[in-house]
Structure 1
Amino acid sequence: MFIGIDVGGTAIKYGVILRTGEIVKKGQMPTIHEKENFLQSIEALIKSLQQDAVIEGVGISAPGIIQKDGTMTTAGSIKSLYGINLKLELEGRVKLPVIVENDANAAAIAEKWLGHAQTCENYLCLVVGTGIGGGIIVNNRLYRGSHGMAGEFGWMLIDSLPEQGNLESVSLNQRAAIVGGLCHQYQLALQQLGRSDLPLDAIEIFQRGEQGEVVANQVIAQFFQDLSVGLLNLISTFDPELILIGGGISENDSFMAKLEETMSQLKARHESIGYLEGRTIAPIQRAKLKNDAGMIGAVYQLMNQ
């Protein structure tokens, strides 16, 4: 058996996973952003799970640019992990083999193993959450790029550039992610109106839209348009067989339905893409393994080493 750990900006999901990919035990805990306390919490988790099962190794999926050797060039919002070799840090503490993989890469790998991409050779997997990460599979192999940075789709710029300031204000991360995009843009819109009734999460924003709130519906429409523009750019660049959408929001049927509707509208207005629709344009589909994909993919990587 293996331990799969999926590190997020706010929570860490974990599970005990069989060689078949079946998760026999799972749970989650808050993410600690201070380095030493973070490492201690992961160490304690692993040792606790070892009390009930014989563990062969630990597969970790995490945000950021991650080198093959486990070095965290970046780590998303967990700034204290930038530059550390998480693999070596944990192996020294728990005396088990550890692999560390980018979360979107891990999700893409999991979908090839047990999900909707089992018959695909070339596909993309997007994890839409705090930001937007991506996994790229080309000819049945994970494409990492020269520095492990491939798949940072959230950095793509999709709009007119501001004259000054941070260009990431018009990136997918700040326009089409959930926390960094939808929630952020809604807060900005409310602030411009002098309102302070900020929602807690995306679900509340969607609920306000369903209740007829004009601001919410304007932000939601722009959010789906921005995400669809990003997806069309990726389709044009990679010509994949399939694009899979992961992240917690992908489990929402209304989200997927609205995304498909917006994609259809934009494809119809793009002459070249519209002509190829039904011929070469990749379909968009919800990832099968949902929130378990990261830990399953990381364990699969470990099993194959």
Structure 2
Amino acid sequence: MLLGLDIGGTKIEGVIVSPSTNNVVHRLRKPTVKNTYQGFFTSVRLVIDELLSRESIQSIGVGSPGSINRQTGLMQGANIVCLNGEDFLSDLKAAYPHVPIALTNDANCLAISEYETGAAKQASNSCLAVILGTGCGGGVIINGSIVDGQHGLGGEIGHNPLPYFSEHDDGASTQCYCGAWNCNELFLSGTGFERTWALKHSPLSAPDIFAKAHLGEQSCIQHIEHYCDQLARALGTIVNIIDPEVILLGGGMSNQDVLYPIIQAKLAPYTFGGKASTPIVKAMHGDSSGVLGAAYLPVMHGLTKLRRN
């Protein structure tokens, strides 16, 4: 059995997957503790320990916010701020010394899962996966392999500046927790979508904004249109660099079907020549994409071999 973890800003999801059937045998979700690193690490261990009590497992794969800097081994770029600067992978290996463990960006896990068995499985060698949840991140596959990069920054589109930023996007420049200004994550994540709404209106949750738009509330419709324009700008810059065969979206915002035709229509003008027709699709495995990719991560890294049951 393979154990996979998908660590998000609000919840930690753990699964045990049977490699003989690719089916999830056990699933567990617990809130993410974010106030201190020790509290965070304890909440991760609670999920792992409960799953270990249910099955014998071959490996542990972890999809985590942020990435590992290959030069230092420390976490960086995580929207769970207490995780940054910590040697998370080494701490996991010390806690579970007899089990192979692999860790990568949660968006990389989304890309792996969808490229292998999901919405991007028809792609011959490339795709871009984007998580639009509590944070915003990306996973890039080129020539059938995940692109991590020298510093573990492959796919970190959430911390590129929003293209063509103006006061129309936000009343003033905004500093991200990473220290940069006007990062994509401040606008394209689910929390960013709610943040920019609250700058001009009374606070509302993202589902409520979409519900009101469905009922014809013009301010909500306009906010969604503008969000799609912002997302199209960000995706257009990536198309101009790697020109992926397909772009797939995951995370809470990706569940809003109304977004797809709007983003698709807005993408081409932000690409070189203005004619790119890159398909933008929803992750097939839904909220489970990341955790399924995490479960198979140690296998892809050659840390364990599948034992068919």
The TM-score bracket by the shorter chain reads 0.7 to 0.9
| Structure 2 residue 183 is the aligned partner of structure 1 residue 171 | yes
- In 2, the alpha carbon distance for the partners of 1:159 and 1:270 equals 13
TM-score for both structures, normalised by structure 1: 0.86
Between 161-170 and 86-95, report the one with greater CA deviation.
161-170
Aligned-residue RMSD, C-alpha? 2.5
Change (3 A) 1:131 1:23: same
Q: Number of matched residues?
A: 289
Question: Which residue, out of 81, 84, 101, partners 1:82?
Answer: 84
Verify the 8 A CA contact 1:70 1:88 in the aligned structure 2: no
Q: Determine the structure 1 residue equivalent to 2:199.
A: 188
| Structure 2 residue 298 is the aligned partner of structure 1 residue 302 | yes
Change (3 A) 1:222 1:169: farther
- In 2, the alpha carbon distance for the partners of 1:92 and 1:100 equals 14
* Mapping 1:32-51, distance limit 5 Å: 32-33=33-34, 34-51=36-53
Identity of aligned residues (%): 27
Verify the 8 A CA contact 1:136 1:142 in the aligned structure 2: yes
- In 1, the alpha carbon distance for the partners of 2:122 and 2:188 equals 29
Deviation at 1:187, TM superposition (A): 0.7
Amino acid at match of 2:195: H
Change (3 A) 1:43 1:268: closer
Q: Determine the structure 2 residue equivalent to 1:194.
A: none
* Mapping 1:105-120, distance limit 5 Å: 105-120=108-123
* Mapping 1:203-282, distance limit 5 Å: 203-256=207-260, 260-265=261-266, 267=268, 272-274=273-275, 277=276, 281-282=277-278
Verify the 8 A CA contact 1:70 1:100 in the aligned structure 2: no
- In 1, the alpha carbon distance for the partners of 2:165 and 2:134 equals 23
TM-score for both structures, normalised by structure 2: 0.85
- In 2, the alpha carbon distance for the partners of 1:266 and 1:52 equals 46
- In 2, the alpha carbon distance for the partners of 1:269 and 1:142 equals 25
- In 1, the alpha carbon distance for the partners of 2:117 and 2:53 equals 28
Deviation at 1:271, TM superposition (A): 8.3
Change (3 A) 1:302 1:166: same
Amino acid at match of 1:118: K
Verify the 8 A CA contact 1:105 1:134 in the aligned structure 2: yes
Q: Determine the structure 1 residue equivalent to 2:159.
A: 155
Q: What SS class does the counterpart of residue 133 from structure 1 fall into?
A: strand
Q: Which has the higher helix share?
A: 1
Question: Which residue, out of 179, 192, 203, partners 1:198?
Answer: 203
Q: Which blocks of at least 5 consecutive residues in structure 1 are unaligned? A: 191-196
Q: Which blocks of at least 5 consecutive residues in structure 2 are unaligned? A: 303-309
| Structure 2 residue 21 is the aligned partner of structure 1 residue 12 | no
| Structure 2 residue 100 is the aligned partner of structure 1 residue 97 | yes
Verify the 8 A CA contact 1:69 1:85 in the aligned structure 2: no
* Mapping 1:275-290, distance limit 5 Å: 277=276, 281-290=277-286
Change (3 A) 1:164 1:171: closer
Change (3 A) 1:98 1:262: closer
- In 1, the alpha carbon distance for the partners of 2:147 and 2:239 equals 16
Change (3 A) 1:11 1:70: farther
Deviation at 1:228, TM superposition (A): 1.2
Between 86-95 and 146-155, report the one with greater CA deviation.
86-95
Change (3 A) 1:171 1:79: closer
- In 1, the alpha carbon distance for the partners of 2:209 and 2:286 equals 22
- In 2, the alpha carbon distance for the partners of 1:298 and 1:272 equals 37
